[in-house]
Structures are given as structure tokens and as C-alpha cells.
């Protein structure tokens, strides 16, 4: 606590220090406010000094701004620590603790309460922002004196905004009002003028350990996007953008991106494990809010490679980076302003409108900065400036690529456009709609995908030799941008509709809308993930491309055939015994049904089969890509395979990290496709001793137990589960009722996790005497791989970020070209 002592402004009032350091006393709110105000002051001062340093190119001023950034971090983190202490105690003199604190909550969840409610999570925002200020200062180091002051200035302006929020409208450190304390005293009893207990956090937060990791991870992703944003603005302010600056920028972008990725998947995990609805993603607005910046961020990471290596797509890349930051702000606004509950709820608190104002100001700031400074980026390095008048997305890419890109854009945009007109004119013949998945009979939808892929193949066939990695990156960017647009419209529409039309306009956009777009776009991305890294920069020779993709293509085809053979495509309702040719018979039925407009048969597993074989394609293409250099070293340098693999990994750490992240993504797509495609679910109404058959399991209801645990009461249903006669033990799904919110009992499902599937038992409701229970049983194939994929992607990104010992000296000597050549 020594830092706290040195930070207090009240150093003159030595006698007060003792009373202030009493974390149980009523002085804590004032101490917290003091820390926040100090943080606000350092951020403001630092921002002004930072911009001054940028304008006057004065390094002494830069140093002061750096110091102020550091101080902001220290004060904000201290304020967070103080709040945690207050929550642990719990000190109800602090308004936020009075809101979410409780003495009955276990210590673990008392800490978690820091992000249980609005003002606490804004405080955490500030703290994490502080961490990223330090991270950015460290990442930039001494090498970029031109950029550093501008980055600091911009980032500290964002810090000022959050410090202002924490010190005014979202102040968690208010002294609890006297009448509120009286109310609480009536409810919980009093000692020394403070209530003995409080309401505690929302039970949903207490029901699972993941709640301790998911929100802060997501925050580390969300908040961190402010740092690369500041660095992008710095490039525009400074009026230059070399490849050298892209190295810290990329690193500062990857760090929050990795956390965002992990946070999103963890959210799915939490939702699967706690809510017990047997799904992990519902296109809920809150989920979309975190997904959109991930989409634009991923697009940024790839187009930044174009920018760094080919000096092209500069403006476009910067736009993506800026949009990512704006979307994180937008996401925080959506999740934290209560706008989803009701537009009216949003208008009640002051935080929502202020946040919206900040987003609007940031948006206008981005547009102005980009418009006025964009031209300065193109006058460097003696590069021709002619190309910038063309579409920014396709600079330096050959003419044919531009045409191809245009064709694809047309296909992408014409699809939705036609979909709109088609829904207006129902009578258009189905055949006409063939290339577009949006309105045709569902069974025909996937035909659209090969069509899009056939276009590049057509260009290959016409001896176009300009197909390199550039093309795949341009396509990837198109796909990601379209995806973002689709999600954005679907998320914002209900809010706007209600805001403009009142109660009449209360709607929600259903999952099918999102799924319809997510599947084809996702599949295109999987294919690109296979093709892209395997193609060289610049020209790719057709024959070499074919040799590279022969094995993956055969593998994908074979997988598809085998999967159908195994019965991967099923006719609903399912037929008992598949038999040898069952799979192909179904496939035949499916195909003949596809071309008929009157066919009413339902099929399952078609999309999943397609997704599976495309995943195999991407996986094999990636492996191929990694194995070839190992093989070359093995043959050429006579190294053992392990040494060769190690050397390859060490030489291209960044590339290797990217590969691992791609593998993780493929794993995630595979798992999602399987879990969604072959999910089984059933409800049982059950009494003691009753048996139920579900998939390969037999579930027997035995008994219930009522377990009081202090802060909650659990009703535990005991189910004996056996698999083909083999006893798997007792499953104990619960219903937890928290003392702090008795009106909101929550189910806590139990799962059996195996590599091939997850079995989840969820007790929906149960009689106290154990005579009756509602049980929901879900079987999700390959579910666990999605959670593993999060770790793999995080690991891969960290490898790519980690500064490599071998690359450092090279990159200082030759800024970039040579080194890039190595990696590529």
C-alpha cells in the first residue's frame, strides 16, 4: 500500500493519512475520488503536452508526456485496487459497493463484482486503459521519436474521456447517500452507521468461474484497441507511415486482438456452461457487439501485411484500424447503456447519451483527420503517388485483379440486392435465383459458393499469372467487410426501429438472417485461409499452385465422400438402419430434391458436410505449407526432421504464429459446424427411478438433495448415466437460488466432456420433495474443440507478437525489405 500513500494529494495533511488508510471507514470514497481526479489530471496534462511535443518536435516535452501517461496508469490502477479492497471488506460507504457488494458472497466473486455493474466496469475500463498506455510506451520504445508524442497525445485524450466518466456520471466512489444507507439498514441491520450486508451481484455472475475471466479478457481486447488507434492517428498527424512504424503498430494490434478472440470464445463457453440452452452463439446483440470489432480487426491484420510489404492499401488499412476502435466504443455503449432492454432505459441514465456523443465526436474526428492528412502518407520513399486515385483497396494489384475484385463485389452486393427485390416479387422463377443463396429454396443455397470459387479458377485457366497472395488478401478483406456490414445492420436495426417508431417498431432480427450470411462468408474465408498462405507474394505460377493444392483438394474431396458414406447427411425424420449405401441414397434424394421446386423433404448435415471438407482443405493446405520447408531442410541440409522443424519455426516466428492462429480458427469452424449441425436435444419430464434413453446414453433419475451453502441454496438432481450398460457415475445438475436475489433461481448444468462430444444435463425445474423434475439433455459433437481453439489462437498470436532474438539485429540494420523477403 506504499504507492497509495505516496499518491495521496493530502501529503500535507499527515494526520489525515491514518484515517484515510482505514479501508473500513467512510473516507474511502474520497480517497478513490482523489485517485481518479489525479488520473484525470495526469491524462489531461499529458495529452496537451503530447500534442505540443508533436508540433514542436521537442523530445523533452515527449518525456514529460510519457511520464504523465505512466502516472495516469498508476493512479487508475490504484483506484481499481482500492475498489477491490472496498468490495472485499465490503465497505458500504462506497456507493458502488452498496450497489453490488454483499458479505455473503464468496471472496472470489467479491473481486468479480468489480465488473458486475456499470460504474465498476467503466472504472475497470480506465484501469485496463492505463495498462495499455504503459504497453504502448514500451512497444514504441525509443525508436520512433516522430510518432511517440502524437500516439501519446491521442491515447491520453481517450484516457481523459474515461477518467471524466469515472469521476462524474459513472462515479463508483460516491459516498453512499444517507437515505440509501437507511434503507439498507432497515433491510440488513446496521453497525457503526453502516449496513451489515448488501444486495450482492447479479446471480448470473456468481454461477460460474468463467465469469471471473470472460469479462476482463474481453475488456483487455476492447480497451486495447485504443492503443493502435492512437498509433494510426499518430501516423496521420506526423504525416508519414513507414514499414518501420508498422512493426510496433502490428504488435500493439495483435495483443488486444488475441484477448478479443479469446474473450469472444470464452463468452460462448460461459453461455454454453451457465445458461444451459445448449448453444454457444445466438447472434445476441451483446455478442454481435464484440464480434464486429473482431471482424474488422482481423481484416486489418491482413491488409496491414499488404501495407507493410507492398506499400499498398494504406488508406484502407488505416480505415479498418479506426473502424475497429469505433466499433469497440460502440460495443461498450451497446452492452453498458442498457439500450437493448429498451431504448427508453437508455435515455434514463446519463452514461448512454454521453457515450454516444463521444462515439459521434470520434467518428467525425476520424473522418476529418483521414481526409485532411491522407495525402501525406503517399509522398514518402519516392513511391509513385499516382495509384492513390484508384480504389484504395486494390492499389498495386494488377489490372486483372481489380477486375476480378469488381466481379466479386458485384456478386456479393448483387446477392442481397436481388434478395430484396425477390422478396418483393415472389413469383420470379426459382431457377433465376440460382446463383444467390438468399431467397432460393434452402437446399439449393450452397451451389452459390462453388460459383464464387469458380471465378478465380476461371482466371487461372485463362493464363492469368498475377494471382498471388495479394488477391486472397483483397478477397478476405471484402468478405470481412461484408460480414461486418451484415452483422452491423442486423444489430442496429432493432434499436433504430424502436427509436424511430416507438412501441410499434419493437422487433428483433432472428438468427436465420445472420446464419444465412455467416455460412457462405465463413466458408469463403476458410477456403481463402487455405489458399492465401500457400501462394507467394506477387505472381503465382499456375502449375506450382496446382501442385500445392492437389493434395488438399483430394483430401477434402475424400473427406466429403467418406463423411456422406458414414451417414453425414440425413433425411429427417431419421431412418433406423443406415445400411451401406444409405448415405449416397440420401445424397441422391437430396440432389433430386434440390432441383425440384415442390420437394418438401428435409435434410440435415448438408452444410456441415461442406464445412467439414473445406476445413480439411484449409488444414491440409496449411500443413503442406509448413511441411514443405521442413522437407527442404531435411533433404538439403540433412537435418533431422525435429531440428529442421525447429529451425523453420524459429526463422519465421511471425509466419509460424500466423499458421497456428489459422489452425486454431479452422478448429473453431470445424467444432462450430459439427456442434450446430449434429446437435441433439431432448426434454424429459421425470420422476424417481424413471429411465430415459438419449442417443447412446441411459439416464435414470434417482433423487434430489437440498444443499444450503450460506450464500445460496442448491437443489441438486441426481441422475445416474450409463452408456451401453457401462455406468458413468452420478450427474448432479443443480438449480441455485441466491439469498441476495431469491426471485431468480438459476440452473447450473453438468457436462460430460469427451473429445468427440459433450453431454450436458440441465435441470430446468424440480419439486422440493423430489417427486418430479424437468430435465433437458443436450449432446453437442466436438464441442470441446471450440474452447481449445481459443487457446490455440491465443498461443499462435503470442508467438507472432513475441520479439524474436534473431530478427531484431536484422531489422535495425535494414528496416524491412530484406527481412520481409526472409519471412515470405
Partner 1 sequence: MKPWKRLVLALSALVISGAILAGVAYSPEIGRSLFGESNLVMYWSPSELLAKGDTAKLSTVRLGGMVVRGTEEDWAKKLPLKFFVTDMKETIPVSASGAPPDMFQEGIGVIVEGRMDENGVFQTGRPIVKHSNEYRVPSEGDSMKDMASTLKEAQ
As measured in angstroms, the least distance from the Cβ of 636 to partner 1 is 52
- Residues in the chain, total: 824
Per rule CB under 8 A, is residue 371 in the interface with partner 1? yes
Query: Within positions 501 to 540, which residues make up the interface with partner 1, using CB under 8 A?
Result: 501, 503, 505-510, 512-513
Minimal distance, residue 83 CB to partner 1, in Å: 21
Residues 700-729 that bind partner 1 (CB under 8 A): none
Give the DSSP letter of residue 559: H
How far, in Å, are 1, 95, 118, 167, 441 from residue 99 at the CA level?
26, 6, 10, 17, 52
What's the min distance (Å) between Cβ of 595 and partner 1? Answer: 23
User: How far is 97 from 79, CA to CA, in rounded Å?
Assistant: 14
Which distant-in-sequence residues (6+ apart) come within 8 Å of 725 by Cβ?
Answer: none
Give the span between the Cα atoms of 782 and 330, in whole angstroms: 33
Binding to partner 1 by residue 632, rule CB under 8 A?
no
- Helices 28-56 and 118-140 cross at an angle (nearest 10°) of 40
In the complex with partner 1, the residue whose CB is nearer, 501 or 544, is: 501
Q: How far is the CB of 777 from partner 1 (least distance, A)?
A: 11
Which range of residues in 27-35, 60-68, 465-473, 771-779 is near partner 1 by CB under 8 A?
Answer: 771-779
Rounded least distance, CB 367 to partner 1, Å: 5
- Nearest-approach distance from CB 211 to partner 1, in angstroms: 15
Q: Which is nearer to partner 1, 22 or 703 (CB)?
A: 703
Interface of this chain with partner 1, residues 725 to 744, rule: CB under 8 A: 735, 741, 743-744
Strand, coil or helix: what is 350? coil
63, 89, 180, 373: which one contacts partner 1 (CB under 8 A)?
A: 373
Pairing, β 691-694 against β 680-686: unpaired
- The answer to whether residues 793 and 665 touch, using CB atoms and an 8 Å cutoff, is yes
37 class by beta-carbon count within 10 Å (0-12 exposed, 13-18 middle, 19+ buried):
middle
End-to-end CA distance of the chain: 50
CB of 33 to partner 1, least distance (A): 26
Contact pattern for partner 1 over residues 281 through 320, marking x by CB under 8 A: ----------------------------------------
Residue 754 touches partner 1, criterion: CB under 8 A:
no
Q: Which stretch binds partner 1 (CB under 8 A): 105-113, 162-170, 326-334, 365-373?
A: 365-373
Check binding of 492 to partner 1 (CB under 8 A): yes
**Range 672-691, binding partner 1 (CB under 8 A):** 683, 685
Decide: is 389 part of the binding site for partner 1 (CB under 8 A): yes
- Which of residues 537, 565, 623, 772 is near partner 1 by CB under 8 A? 772
Window contacting partner 1 (CB under 8 A); options: 129-137, 334-342, 396-404, 669-677: 334-342
Q: Smallest gap, in angstroms, from Cβ of residue 768 to partner 1?
A: 11
Residue (of 643, 545, 574, 564) closest to 609 by Cα position: 564
270 in Cβ contact with 210 (< 8 Å): yes
Contact flag: residue 778 with partner 1 (CB under 8 A): no
Q: Is residue 278 close enough to count as binding partner 1 by CB under 8 A?
A: no
Q: Which of 21, 370, 391, 561 binds partner 1 (CB under 8 A)?
A: 370
Between 174 and 213, how does the x/- string for binding to partner 1 read (CB under 8 A)?
Answer: ----------------------------xxx---------
Beta-bridged to residue 780, according to DSSP, are: 758
What contacts 289, CB < 8 A, 6 or more positions away?
330, 331, 332, 334, 335, 491
Query: Closest separation between CB of residue 456 and partner 1, Å?
Result: 29
- Using the contact rule CB under 8 A, the part of the chain among 38-46, 158-166, 208-216, 758-766 near partner 1 is 758-766
Binding status of residue 342 toward partner 1 by CB under 8 A: yes
Q: Is 420 in the site for partner 1 (CB under 8 A)?
A: yes
Which of 496, 632, 695, 753 binds partner 1 (CB under 8 A)? It is 496
Q: Which residues contact 717 (CB under 8 A, 6 or more apart)?
A: 701, 704, 732, 733, 734, 735, 763, 766, 773, 775
Q: Which three cell numbers stand for residue 484?
A: 461486418
- The beta strand positions in 607-674, using DSSP E, are none
Neighbours of 33 (CB within 10 A): 18
CA 555 from chain centre, in angstroms, equals 31
Output Rg (C-alpha) for the chain, integer angstroms: 29
Told to check if 620 binds partner 1 by CB under 8 A, we report no
Backbone dihedral angles phi then psi of residue 27, each to the nearest 5 degrees: -85, -15
Of 104, 174, 497, 690, the one binding partner 1 by CB under 8 A: 497
Q: Is residue 364 a contact point for partner 1 (CB under 8 A)?
A: yes
Distance CA 503, CA 342 (A): 10
Q: Which of 599, 440, 559 is nearest to 588 (CA)?
A: 599
Smallest distance, partner 1 to C-beta of residue 508, A: 5
Q: Which residues contact 13 (CB under 8 A, 6 or more apart)?
A: none
Per-residue CA distances from 712 to 92, 187, 201, 385, 398 (Å): 21, 18, 13, 67, 66
* Residue 764 is a binding residue for partner 1 (CB under 8 A): yes
Residue for cell digits 470472460? 214
Q: How far apart are CA 65 and CA 69, in angstroms?
A: 6
Residues in contact with partner 1 by CB under 8 A are: 202-204, 338, 341-342, 345, 363-364, 367-368, 370-375, 389, 419-420, 423-424, 489-490, 492-493, 496-497, 499-501, 503, 505-510, 512-513, 683, 685, 735, 741, 743-745, 747, 764-766, 772, 774-776
Amino acid at each position: 500500500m506504499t504507492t497509495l500513500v505516496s499518491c495521496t494529494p493530502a501529503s500535507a495533511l499527515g494526520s489525515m493519512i491514518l484515517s484515510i488508510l482505514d479501508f473500513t471507514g467512510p473516507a474511502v470514497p474520497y480517497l478513490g475520488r482523489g485517485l481518479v481526479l489525479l488520473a484525470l489530471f495526469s491524462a489531461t496534462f499529458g495529452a496537451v503536452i503530447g500534442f505540443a511535443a508533436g508540433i514542436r518536435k521537442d523530445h523533452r516535452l515527449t518525456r514529460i508526456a510519457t511520464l504523465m501517461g505512466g502516472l495516469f496508469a498508476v493512479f487508475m490502477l490504484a483506484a481499481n485496487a482500492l475498489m477491490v479492497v472496498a468490495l472485499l471488506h465490503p465497505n458500504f460507504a462506497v456507493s458502488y459497493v452498496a450497489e453490488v457488494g454483499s458479505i455473503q458472497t464468496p471472496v472470489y466473486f467479491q473481486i468479480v463484482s468489480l465488473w458486475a455493474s456499470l460504474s465498476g466496469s467503466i472504472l475497470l475500463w480506465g484501469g485496463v486503459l492505463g495498462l495499455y498506455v504503459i504497453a504502448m510506451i514500451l512497444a514504441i520504445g525509443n525508436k520512433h521519436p516522430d510518432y511517440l508524442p502524437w500516439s501519446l497525445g491521442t491515447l491520453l485524450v481517450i484516457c481523459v474521456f474515461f477518467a471524466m466518466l469515472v469521476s462524474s456520471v459513472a462515479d463508483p466512489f460516491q459516498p453512499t447517500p444517507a437515505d440509501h444507507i437507511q434503507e439498507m439498514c432497515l433491510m440488513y441491520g446496521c453497525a457503526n452507521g453502516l449496513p451489515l450486508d448488501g444486495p450482492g451481484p447479479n446471480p448470473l455472475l456468481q454461477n460460474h468461474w468463467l465469469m471471473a475471466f470472460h469479462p476482463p479478457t474481453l475488456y483487455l481486447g476492447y480497451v486495447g484497441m485504443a492503443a493502435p488507434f492512437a498509433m494510426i492517428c499518430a501516423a496521420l498527424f506526423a504525416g508519414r507511415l513507414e514499414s518501420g512504424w508498422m512493426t510496433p503498430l502490428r504488435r500493439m494490434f495483435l495483443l488486444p486482438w488475441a484477448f478479443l478472440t479469446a474473450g469472444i470464445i470464452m463468452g460462448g463457453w460461459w453461455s454454453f456452461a451457465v445458461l444451459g440452452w445448449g448453444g454457444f452463439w445466438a447472434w445476441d446483440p451483446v455478442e454481435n457487439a464484440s464480434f464486429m470489432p473482431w471482424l474488422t480487426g482481423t481484416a486489418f491484420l491482413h491488409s496491414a501485411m499488404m501495407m507493410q510489404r507492398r506499400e499498398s492499401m494504406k488508406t484502407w488499412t488505416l480505415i479498418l484500424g479506426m473502424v475497429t476502435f469505433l466499433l469497440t466504443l460502440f460495443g461498450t455503449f451497446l452492452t453498458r447503456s442498457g439500450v437493448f432492454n429498451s431504448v427508453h432505459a437508455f435515455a434514463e441514465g446519463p452514461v448512454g447519451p454521453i457515450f454516444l456523443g463521444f462515439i459521434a465526436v470520434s467518428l467525425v474526428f476520424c473522418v476529418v483527420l483521414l481526409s485532411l492528412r491522407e495525402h501525406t502518407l503517399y509522398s514518402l520513399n519516392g513511391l509513385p503517388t499516382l495509384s492513390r486515385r484508384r480504389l484504395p483497396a486494390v492499389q498495386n494489384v494488377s489490372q486483372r485483379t481489380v477486375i476480378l475484385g469488381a466481379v466479386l463485389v458485384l456478386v456479393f452486393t448483387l446477392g442481397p440486392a436481388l434478395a430484396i427485390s425477390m422478396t418483393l416479387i415472389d413469383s420470379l422463377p426459382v431457377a433465376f435465383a440460382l446463383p444467390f443463396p438468399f431467397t432460393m429454396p434452402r437446399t439449393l443455397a450452397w451451389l452459390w459458393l462453388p460459383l464464387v470459387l469458380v471465378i478465380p479458377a476461371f482466371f487461372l485457366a485463362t493464363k492469368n499469372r498475377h494471382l498471388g497472395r495479394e488477391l486472397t488478401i483483397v478477397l478476405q478483406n471484402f468478405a470481412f467487410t461484408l460480414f461486418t456490414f451484415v452483422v452491423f445492420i442486423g444489430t442496429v436495426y432493432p434499436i433504430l426501429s424502436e427509436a424511430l417508431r416507438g412501441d410499434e417498431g419493437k422487433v428483433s432480427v432472428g438468427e436465420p438472417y445472420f446464419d444465412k450470411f455467416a455460412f457462405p462468408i465463413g466458408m469463403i474465408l476458410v477456403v481463402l485461409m487455405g489458399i492465401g498462405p500457400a501462394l507467394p507474394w506477387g505472381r503465382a505460377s499456375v502449375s506450382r499452385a496446382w501442385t500445392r493444392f492437389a493434395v488438399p483438394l483430394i483430401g477434402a474431396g475424400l473427406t466429403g465422400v467418406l463423411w456422406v458414406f458414414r451417414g453425414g447427411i440425413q433425411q429427417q425424420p431419421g431412418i433406423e438402419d443406415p445400411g451401406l449405401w444409405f448415405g449416397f441414397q440420401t445424397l441422391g434424394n437430396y440432389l433430386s430434391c434440390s432441383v425440384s421446386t415442390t420437394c418438401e423433404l428435409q435434410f440435415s448435415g448438408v452444410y456441415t458436410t461442406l464445412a467439414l471438407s473445406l476445413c480439411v482443405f484449409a488444414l491440409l493446405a496449411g500443413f503442406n505449407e509448413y511441411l514443405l520447408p521442413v522437407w527442404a531442410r531435411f533433404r538439403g541440409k540433412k537435418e533431422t526432421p525435429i531440428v529442421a522443424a525447429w529451425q523453420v519455426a524459429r526463422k519465421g516466428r511471425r509466419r509460424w504464429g500466423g499458421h497456428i492462429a489459422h489452425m486454431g480458427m479452422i478448429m473453431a469452424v470445424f467444432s462450430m459446424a459439427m456442434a450446430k449441425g449434429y446437435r441433439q436435444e431432448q426434454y424429459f419430464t421425470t420422476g424417481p427411478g424413471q429411465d430415459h434413453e438419449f442417443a447412446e446414453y441411459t439416464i435414470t433419475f434417482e433423487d434430489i438433495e437440498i444443499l444450503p451453502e450460506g450464500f445460496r441454496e442448491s437443489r441438486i438432481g441426481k441422475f445416474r448415466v450409463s452408456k451401453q450398460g457401462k455406468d458413468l457415475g452420478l450427474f448432479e445438475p443443480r438449480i441455485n437460488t441466491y439469498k441476495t436475489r431469491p426471485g431468480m433461481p438459476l440452473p447450473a448444468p453438468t457436462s460430460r466432456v469427451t473429445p468427440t462430444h459433450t453431454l450436458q444435463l440441465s435441470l430446468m425445474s424440480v419439486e422440493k420433495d423430489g417427486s418430479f423434475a424437468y430435465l433437458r439433455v443436450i449432446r453437442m459433437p466436438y464441442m470441446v474443440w471450440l474452447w481449445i481453439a481459443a487457446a490455440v489462437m491465443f498461443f499462435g498470436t503470442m508467438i507472432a507478437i513475441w520479439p524474436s532474438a534473431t530478427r531484431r539485429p536484422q531489422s535495425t540494420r535494414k528496416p524491412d525489405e530484406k527481412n520481409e523477403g526472409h519471412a515470405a
